[in-house]
Structure 1
Amino acid sequence: MDDAGSESTAVPLDLLLQITDGFSEERKLGSGSFGEVYLGVHPDGQKIAVKKIYDMPGVDEEQFHNEFKNLARLQHRNIVRLVGYCHHIQEVPAMYEGKLVLAEKIHRALCLEYMSNGSLEKYISDECDKYDWHTGYGIIKGICQGLKYLHTKLEPPIYHLDLKPANILLDENMVPRIADFGISRLFGDERTRATKSTLGTQGYLPPEYIRNYLISSKFDIFSLGVVIIKIMAGRAGYYKSAEMSSHEFTNLVQENWTNRPHETSSLMKAYSKQVKICIEIGLSCVQEDRHKRPTVKNIVDRLNETETECTYAYKKFDALPNKLEWHGNILQT
């Protein structure tokens, strides 16, 4: 398969059948909006994820080309990378008006880089005990950076429109990559549109879409807010946030993270403000008025500021006498 930055390779159907054991149930990794995903293992041991597009007459051809077009132009460390594709037309016998004829059966698949830690969905729990703050913050920052790339670095921009934990994949280092661009829309000059088509997932849809089918970049921002809140407060976090004031919810989440027994006390003192700002960002993203939600650039800029503030706070607490530096999203000596 190709390296990052090179053109995607056309992969024969025979090869996909071979490396997925004929798309066997044992190799199935999961399913997305428009296809099922299987683990493919090459003879040399290289692993890829093969997304076999559902056979949906009248819809699938357009959908395949839409997702392929979206993925083929994306190059960012927080976006899942397309490494190949399959578009195979097979003639198969079929009955038509009482006669046996040859009909075309189209096989479509996208080959993606394999993410060994699966989706973020399996790490979300009410206890938030499957990752420490360093990892949780790194996931939040990575998702935001990927979304910033989609919204601000592409022309025209891409709106994901189905951002949720199941569509965020994690590599061996727990670095997040945004996946499943099946319903993404390319937007030109007209950045806000109304559509009657069914998009997204219940629980991640902004009120302006539920009421008026309105789509803008703030659709993704709302979904991002729900994801951030769930990373920080668990599966029921978003619903808990609606049951109390923003101040009360922010203090509760900050206290839960700061007082975790397995976190170093002095370290979490330094990170306490970062925790507070992250949950405030999450809450600002889910405001009912879309005009009051931040842009993804605002969010990434604020996260960068917290990293500088954490470095200062850590030195202030004299937790470690050595020089402190950021390695990725983690403060280390």
Structure 2
Amino acid sequence: MTTKPKKFFDSLIKPFLGGRGKEGKAEEDLEAIAATEQKVFRYEKLVAATRNFSPKQKLGEGGFGPVFRGRLEDGREVAVKQLGRGSRQGAKEFQNEAMLLSRVQHKNVVNLYGYCAHGDDKLLVYEFVQHESLDKLLFSKEGSQCRKTELAWNQRYQVILGVARGLLYLHEDAHTTIIHRDIKASNILLDDRWVPKIADFGMARLFPEDETHVNTRVAGTNGYMAPEYVMHGRLSTKADVFSFGVVVLELVSGRKNSSFNLLPNPDVDSLLEWAWKLYKKGQTLDMIDPAIVSTADPEQVKMCVQVGLLCTQSDPKLRLDMKRVVIILSKKPTVLEEPTRPGIPGSRYRRRSHGMQGSGHSGGESSSGSISATASASTAALTASTSTTLTTPRHASQQERRSLQR
């Protein structure tokens, strides 16, 4: 399966990197990894595996390019991401994903088998994940009642725990801290045993060990991004924690945060606001997805809502870290601190610790998503509904700030 790793990575990465420095070191590291772990695939093997990239094998297409289902000679089923020619953003995501996932190995993170470069064709080869992405099962409007019942409460709870374990690995146990930056339902895949796998690392970032946060351009999906990240470009592991908290509340309610206008209460602006108001009234169980009422464990539901709210606090210092989340979910429920009002980008709220208002969002839009067994509109596959990926400058514009103060 291997072939001239040095030559391969020269053609794969050099067009994407302007200089050597840290990026050059990353390139050399990746070449060494490829040489020792035999991650380079021959183009002919992938052509055969995907039946010459047959339209019948196509799983979907997003900003990155098309994704094809295939079977290798050794019997492994794979999902092959093909870089769309002329896609500058896709090229950056391709390089980023290849480098970050080279040494990542965890049952709750999608497994990258290898890479391939052939002329203008650049491909990433992943394990094939049997079931659809979480958003397709959770938010599908076609036959929604039937599809939602596939994810009974116990399965949803295991998804919450699995994603938490995957994030804990990325934040604390990987070779270096990795911040995903785009944790959402469409980037969580479910295998044949309904085990969740975090996917799509095109926007992920390595995090310096000696830093509390980094300032960066904002890239993520509307409804999942932390306020301090949207407003000021302050990125830390707590940005992933915030996104995780949103996913937890979505799994409990069966409602998508970015579709808050569909909520039954016209006085709330988002799923987070709705969950917060019900929690304060002692009516947490009112937000349970009707499809799982018969299977839900009331105490677990209450705990998950409280965890979700603690993960989406306005002040990142008040949010749980993923180690504590895993401990809470893995053991008998313990006494948790009381959450304050969650941080809700795009609406008015006051950060208690900073005495300042929250953030809005702006910027260009594109699709982002994951590989799955069926089409999902995303970077790796098409989703059932449109998700908005935002890329904004480090600081919000004056117009955004004025709109928040009104």
CA drift of 1:225 comes to 0.9
Give 2:242's aligned residue.
222
Q: 2:309 aligns with which of 258, 274, 283?
A: 283
Q: Does 1:136 align with 2:183?
A: no
Please state how far the C-alpha of 1:62 moved relative to its aligned partner.
Answer: 4.5
User: Does structure 1 conserve the Cα–Cα contact (< 8 Å) formed by 2:160 and 2:248?
Assistant: yes
Alignment TM-score, normalising by the size of structure 2: 0.63
Deviation at 1:166, TM superposition (A): 1.1
Distance across 1 between alignment mates of 2:39 and 2:248: 35
Runs of at least 5 residues in structure 1 that lack an aligned partner in the other structure = 90-105, 310-333
Q: After the TM superposition, which residues 1-333 of structure 1 pair with which residues of structure 2 at under 5 Å, given as runs?
A: 7-31=37-61, 34-42=64-72, 45-56=75-86, 61-89=91-119, 106-125=120-139, 128-188=148-208, 189-196=210-217, 198-236=218-256, 239-243=270-274, 245-247=277-279, 251-253=283-285, 256=288, 262-263=294-295, 271-306=297-332
User: Which one-letter code corresponds to 2:180 in the other structure?
Assistant: H
Shift of 1:190: 2.1
Of Structure 1 and Structure 2, the greater strand share is in: 1
Identity, % of aligned positions: 35
Q: 1:249 to 1:63 in 2, by over 3 A?
A: farther
What secondary structure does 2:80 align onto? strand
* Structure possessing the higher radius of gyration over alpha carbons: 1
C-alpha distance 66-202 of structure 1, shift in aligned 2 (>3 A): same
User: 1:49 offset after TM fit, Å?
Assistant: 0.7
- Residue aligned with 2:211, SS: coil
Name which of structure 1's ranges 127-136 and 150-159 shifts more when overlaid on structure 2: 127-136
- 1:196-248 CA-to-partner distances (Å, cap 9, x unmatched) read 2x411111111112211221111111111111111111124662441451515
**Which amino acid in 2 is paired with 1:229?**
L
**Per the alignment, in what secondary structure is the counterpart of residue 277 of structure 1?**
helix
Normalized against structure 1, the TM-score is what?
0.76
Q: Secondary structure at the match of 2:186?
A: helix
CA RMSD of aligned residues (A): 2.9
- Report the CA distance between 1:60 and its aligned residue: 5.1
- 3-state SS of the aligned residue for 1:182? coil
Q: CA deviation at 1:32?
A: 5.1
Hey, what's the Cα distance between the residues in 1 that align with 2:280 and 2:184? 25
Moved more, 12-21 or 71-80: 12-21
**d(CA) in 2 for partners of 1:291, 1:218:** 8
- In the TM superposition, residue 68 of structure 1 has moved relative to its aligned partner by 1.0
Structure 1 pair 195/114, CA: closer, same or farther in 2 (3 Å)?
Answer: same
Deviation, structure 1 residue 287: 1.6
Superposed displacement of residue 257, structure 1: 6.7
Letter in 2 for 1:122: K
When the two structures are aligned, how many residues end up with a matched partner?
A: 283
Shift of 1:193: 1.2
CA distance in 1, matches of 2:196, 2:74: 26
What per-residue deviation string (whole Å, max 9, x for no partner) do you get for residues 48-83 of structure 1?
111112334655555433211111110111011111
- Structure 1 residues 23-63: Cα deviation after superposition (integer angstroms, max 9, x where no partner): 23322223455343210123665311111123346555554
Paired with 2:94 and 2:236, the residues of 1 have a C-alpha distance of 23
